[in-house]
Amino acid sequence: MRMTEAEWRDLVICLLCLGVAACFPWMVGAYWLSIGVSIAMFTVLSTSWAIFSGPTHFISLATAAFFGVGAYVVGIGIDYLPYYVLLPIAAVLGGLLAFLVGLATLRLSGVYFVIFTLGLAEFLRQMITWVQNISGTKGMYVLTSITEEHIYWQLLALAAGVWFSGWMIGRMRLGFALRIIGDDETVAKHVGINTSRAKVLLFMLPGSVAALAGAIIAPRYVYIEPSIAFTPMLSFQVVIMALLGGTGRLWGPLVGVIPFTLLWEVISISAPNQTTLLLGVSFLVIVYFLPKGFVGLVASIKRHSSIRGAQ
């Protein structure tokens, strides 16, 4: 694969940034490290979400479901298998679940997909609660020697992996097909693109990434029960952060994740009951004031100033 000079330059900048981010745990205390873990987690989730939802315009609310599956893989398996074997299992299961969901809904209109993914986390939560009621077990303990720093570095590596796959997909036939689907699905069908197949394949990426993130985070919870692993709020946070940043660029979601995670932290400390209100207002702000996110805002300001400069 041939790379241009600009691409080499971007690659070097990215690696430098990742290197600086990797030193974060040595620079700050425990409190800021926990915020760093949240930021890394939401970066992973929002970026992989945007890789699928950006070009296809299908709003997925299944993040919490995949995340919960990953957490449960670790919760169930930690007594029998070593931790590092569980991570790929979680990724495969998440991808498989995404494949099944995609098969059932992605050939239909976007509304069905939204509703289906909205219910998925709740469905899995009720099923697991029911199975636990029958078998008499309640929650599960995940006791490992994994520290907050380890979790942070794993998430950072995963984020690098997500960015890399997003960049690769953009260069592949699949990425090209998706851009056409995003512009006009009818055109895409007419030029012979199997639109359902492309969408199902792509949906497996956020599915397995979210499951992997859930598996990585699981040791942090120590105690896992359905209402912790499958929090519906997570799906909405991910959607807001990705849209706030903008889905047009790979680094777009990151621009939304950092301010929103900090804002969320402030609100949940000072007024814990008002987090839902914050979510609601953010949705409205995105639709009415930032339809293309911060990325789109910057682009339009640039365009304005260059027009003015030309005059």
Where along the sequence are the contacts to other proteins (CB under 8 A)?
57, 59, 104-105, 108-112, 114-116, 118-120, 122-123, 126-127, 129-130, 133, 232, 236, 243, 273-274, 276-284, 286-288
Q: What is the largest CA-CA distance in the chain?
A: 74
What does the block give as tokens for 201?
A: 């394949």
Collect all residues with Cβ–Cβ distance below 8 Å to 183 and sequence separation of at least 6.
none
Where does residue 295 fall: left (phi above 0), alpha (psi -120 to 50 degrees), or beta otherwise?
A: alpha
Residue 204 in tokens:
């497996």
Q: Quote the least distance from Cβ 102 to other proteins, whole Å.
A: 12
Nearer of residues 101 and 205 to other proteins, judged by Cβ: 101
Cβ contact 151:216 at 8 Å: yes
Q: How far is the CB of 283 from other proteins (least distance, A)?
A: 3
The minimum distance between CB 146 and other proteins, in angstroms, equals 32
Report the alpha-carbon distance of residue 306 to residue 311 in Å, rounded: 9
For residue 286, the minimal CB distance to other proteins (Å) is 6
Q: Which one, 37 or 243, has the nearer CB to other proteins?
A: 243
Q: Could you give the 3-state DSSP secondary structure of residue 223?
A: strand
**CB of 130 vs other proteins, minimal distance in Å:** 5
Q: Give the C-alpha separation, 129 to 72, whole Å.
A: 12
Classified as helix, coil or strand, 109 is coil
CB of 55 to other proteins, least distance (A): 13
Nearer to other proteins, 18 or 267 (CB): 267
Cβ proximity of 202 and 101 under 8 Å = no
- Output 199 or 219, the one with its CB closest to other proteins: 199
CB of 22 to other proteins, least distance (A): 35
Nearest to 144 by CA among 206, 236, 217, 78: 78
- Taking the least distance from each CB to other proteins, the nearer of 64 and 78 is 64
What distances in angstroms separate CA 220 from CA 34, 71, 192, 224, 232, one per listed residue? 10, 10, 47, 10, 19
- Closer by beta carbon to other proteins, 28 or else 277: 277
Nearer to other proteins, 123 or 223 (CB): 123
